[in-house]
């Protein structure tokens, strides 16, 4: 998450970014709320912008293309009453919760005792140290005109080996305290003995449908489960939100047929030949 402040008199803009294969979604909170959907693997397709919280109380949907000389071309797609968002949330909340519950069943959970028996310690940074370390191990870089953070594996190894981080190393039992505080950030665990010595794993806390908070390993299985859920949910929301006669326009503009999402529960909006 990145925060931008343009001028002292302008409201703070908060950005949230999600990337699924070949597709990026960015949400910007400022004077209004914008969701921008764009291809991450192509520069010749427009961005789809959906904004609300405007003075007109409408959801504005348009395609934006940057032309030569930095000019922007806007192609209106639809204007809908903001009440459509309430219907969208009501329609998809049960489906989203079911999807989250199913995804949680596929990820690996760990307990502090499991970590300690395998000689893992927990590396946890308090809030004041997080930003400093984040800039060291995941500096912001510009990629295709967008600023994003990229993890530097060597920087992670150097930090773990340094003496300066020793005060951030805890017995795995600290995970109980963090869970009780509803801590939502990631933590690292490192094996300090045995054949796995030096191995690093990332953990995060989630709340299961039964209300129990658990720690899960952020591995390829976890990332794949979130990616698949995100794909289905984003595309299903687009299909529900966009009027039927505009879906093919958006699909053709973003070349969504190339993405080959799973059709069940929200595959790509079908496109038509130009």
Residue 96 lies in a domain: no
Whether the CB-CB separation of 170 and 187 falls below 8 Å is answered with no
**Which range of residues forms the domain containing residue 130?**
109-218
β-strands 213-217, 109-110 pairing: antiparallel
Residue 268 lies in a domain: no
Q: Does 22 lie in the same domain as 70?
A: yes
Q: Does 122 lie in the same domain as 209?
A: yes
Q: Does 28 lie in the same domain as 74?
A: yes
The secondary structure element, H or E, covering residue 171 is: none
Q: Does 76 lie in the same domain as 113?
A: no
- In the chain, how many domains are there? 2
Q: Does 122 lie in the same domain as 68?
A: no
SS (H, E, C) 54-96: CCCCEEEEEEEEECHHHCEEEEEEEEEECHHHHHHHHHHHHHH
Residue 266 lies in a domain: no
- Per-residue pLDDT for the chain (274 aa), expressed as one digit of tens each? 334 434 444 456 677 777 777 888 888 887 888 888 888 888 889 999 988 888 888 888 899 987 766 678 888 888 888 877 666 666 666 666 666 667 667 777 899 999 999 999 998 876 666 666 667 777 777 776 667 777 777 777 776 666 556 677 899 999 999 988 888 777 889 899 988 888 888 898 887 767 788 898 887 777 777 777 766 777 777 777 777 778 888 888 888 877 755 434 444 444 433 3
Residue 143 lies in a domain: yes
Residue 40 lies in a domain: yes
β-strands 200-207, 187-191 pairing: antiparallel
Residue 234 lies in a domain: no
Q: Does 208 lie in the same domain as 113?
A: yes
Residues across the chain? 274
Whether the CB-CB separation of 256 and 267 falls below 8 Å is answered with no
Residue 211 lies in a domain: yes
Residue 16 lies in a domain: yes
Q: Does 66 lie in the same domain as 135?
A: no
Nearest-5° Cα angle at 213, 207 to 216: 85
């Amino acid at each position: 998450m990145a925060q931008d402040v343009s001028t002292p008199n302008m409201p703070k803009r908060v950005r949230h970014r999600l990337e699924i294969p070949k597709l990026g979604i960015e949400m910007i909170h400022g004077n209004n709320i914008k969701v921008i959907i764009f291809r991450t693997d192509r520069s010749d397709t427009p961005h789809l912008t959906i904004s609300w919280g405007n003075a007109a109380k409408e959801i504005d949907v348009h395609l934006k293309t940057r032309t030569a000389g930095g000019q922007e071309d806007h192609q209106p797609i639809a204007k809908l009453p903001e009440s459509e968002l309430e219907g969208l949330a009501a329609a998809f909340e049960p489906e989203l919760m079911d999807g989250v519950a199913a995804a949680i069943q596929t990820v690996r959970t760990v307990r502090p005792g499991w970590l300690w028996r395998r000689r893992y310690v927990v590396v946890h940074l308090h809030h004041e140290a997080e930003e400093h370390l984040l800039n060291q191990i995941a500096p912001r870089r510009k990629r295709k005109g967008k600023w994003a953070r990229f993890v530097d594996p060597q920087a992670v190894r150097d930090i773990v080996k340094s003496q300066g981080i020793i005060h951030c190393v805890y017995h795995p039992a600290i995970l109980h305290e963090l869970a009780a505080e509803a801590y939502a950030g990631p933590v690292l665990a490192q094996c300090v003995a045995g054949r796995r010595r030096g191995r690093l794993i990332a953990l995060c806390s989630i709340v299961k449908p039964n209300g129990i908070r658990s720690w899960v390993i952020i591995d390829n299985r976890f990332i794949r489960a979130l990616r698949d859920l995100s794909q289905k949910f984003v595309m299903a929301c687009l299909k529900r939100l966009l009027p039927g006669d505009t879906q093919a326009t958006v699909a053709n503009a973003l070349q969504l047929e190339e993405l080959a999402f799973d059709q069940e529960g929200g595959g790509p909006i079908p496109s038509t030949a130009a």
